[in-house]
Amino acid sequence: MRLHVINTGFFKLDGGAMFGVVPKSIWQKTNPPDANNLCTWAMRCLLIEDGDKLILIDNGIGTKQNEKFFSHYFLHGDDDLRKSIHKAGFSEDQLTDMFLTHLHFDHCGGGVEIQNGKPELTFKNATYWSNTDHWKWATEPNPREKASFLTDNILPMKSSGQLKFVDTASPFNGIDLHTVSGHTDKMMIPKIHYKNKVICFMADLLPSIGHIPLPYVMAYDTRPLLTMKEKEEFLNEAADREYVLFLEHDPVHECCTVKRTEKGVRLDRTFSLSEL
C-alpha cells in the first residue's frame, strides 16, 4: 500500500463559526484570522494505492459553482484536484473508488464536473461510496445544513449508476470505517492500516490541531454535544493506540498524534505523511 496526499487548494471560513463558543482571543493563537475574521483552511484529500485499487478519500470543493458562490469562500493556492492527482503519477480515469466521508460541498464538490453544459462524474471509472443514512440526510436536508448539500454535487452520482452504499463492513482491505453523527449524520472516518500504524482520516471530526480540546467544536456541527462525546472517545483511543491523525482542513499540518495529559488529550507532535 502507498499513500499520496492530494492537495485541492485552500479556502476561507469565519473563525467564529469554526470554533463555536470558544472566544476569538483563544482560537486566534492557533488559527490567526484576516481583517474580515476569516481563517484559511486546507481541503486535503488522500489517495490510496493498494494492488489494483486506487481509492481517493474526499475530493474538495470543485470548480463548477458560480462566481457568487465562490466569492464567499475565497479559494486560493496553487494546487487543485486534477493537478495533485497528476503530480502523484495518476490520471482521473485510473481511480477505482471515490470514497466520501460526507456530502458537504467542500468534501464532495470535485467529484462532479460540468462537461458540455451537463454534469459528468470526474472519475468515470470509479465507484462512488456513501452510506444509506447519510445519503438520505443529504438529499432530504434539514434547514440548517441545506446550504452545504448541493444537489449538483450529489444527484449526478446516483444518476450515473456508479453510486454504492457502505452499510455494513468496509469494502476495502486494510481500511476500517468509524461512523460519527455529531457534525452531520453518519459521517465516516476511514482508519487505514499502513506500515504497522493506523492512519485516521479525520474529516470534520477533527478539522485541525486547534480543535483538539473538547469544547473546540464547530458551529457548523448539527449536534455539538454529541461531537464532544464522539471526539473525546476517539481521541482517547487515538492517544492509547498511537493513531496517526490525518487532518483534512488544517492549513499547515498534514498529520498529528495526541497524548493524554492532566488537562485531557492534547497535541503530541505534528509531521507530514511522507515522514512515516
Mind listing the pLDDT tens digit for each residue in 49-100? 999 999 999 999 999 999 999 999 999 999 999 999 999 999 999 999 999 9
Write the DSSP string, 65-112: S-HHHHHTT--BSS--HHHHHHHTT--GGG--EEE-S---HHHHGGGE
* pLDDT of amino acid 35: 96
Domain count, the chain: 1
* pLDDT of amino acid 129: 98
pLDDT digits (tens, 9 = 90+) for 258-267: 999 999 999 9
* pLDDT of amino acid 168: 85
Using alpha carbons, select from 126, 158, 144, 149 the residue that is nearest to residue 57: 126
Q: Strand, helix or coil at 21?
A: coil
- Spatial neighbors of 241 by CB under 8 A, at least 6 apart, are 198
Q: Return d(Cα 209, Cα 200) in angstroms, integer.
A: 14
Contact 25, 8 (CB under 8 A): no
Q: What is the mean pLDDT of residues 102-111?
A: 98
C-alpha cell at 73: 469562500
AA identity, residue 100: L
Q: Strand, helix or coil at 192?
A: strand
Using alpha carbons, select from 143, 171, 148, 10 the residue that is nearest to residue 69: 148
- CATH number, domain with residue 98: 3.60.15.10
pLDDT digits (tens, 9 = 90+) for 132-142: 999 999 999 99
* pLDDT of amino acid 254: 98
Q: Is the pLDDT of residue 116 over 90?
A: no
Element containing residue 163 per DSSP (H, E)? strand 163-165
Contact 3, 199 (CB under 8 A): yes
Q: What percent of the chain has pLDDT over 70?
A: 100
Q: For 213, which DSSP code?
A: S
Where do we find the cell 446516483? 158
pLDDT digits (tens, 9 = 90+) for 15-35: 999 999 999 999 999 999 999
Q: What is the mean pLDDT of residues 33-42?
A: 97
Using alpha carbons, select from 94, 59, 100, 62 the residue that is nearest to residue 190: 100
Structural domain boundaries, residue 112: 2-275
* pLDDT of amino acid 156: 97
Contact 165, 129 (CB under 8 A): yes
* pLDDT of amino acid 117: 86
AA identity, residue 271: F
Q: Is the pLDDT of residue 38 over 90?
A: yes
Report field, pTM of the whole predicted structure over 0.85: yes
Q: What is the mean pLDDT of residues 233-245?
A: 98
Length of the chain: 276
Contact 60, 9 (CB under 8 A): yes
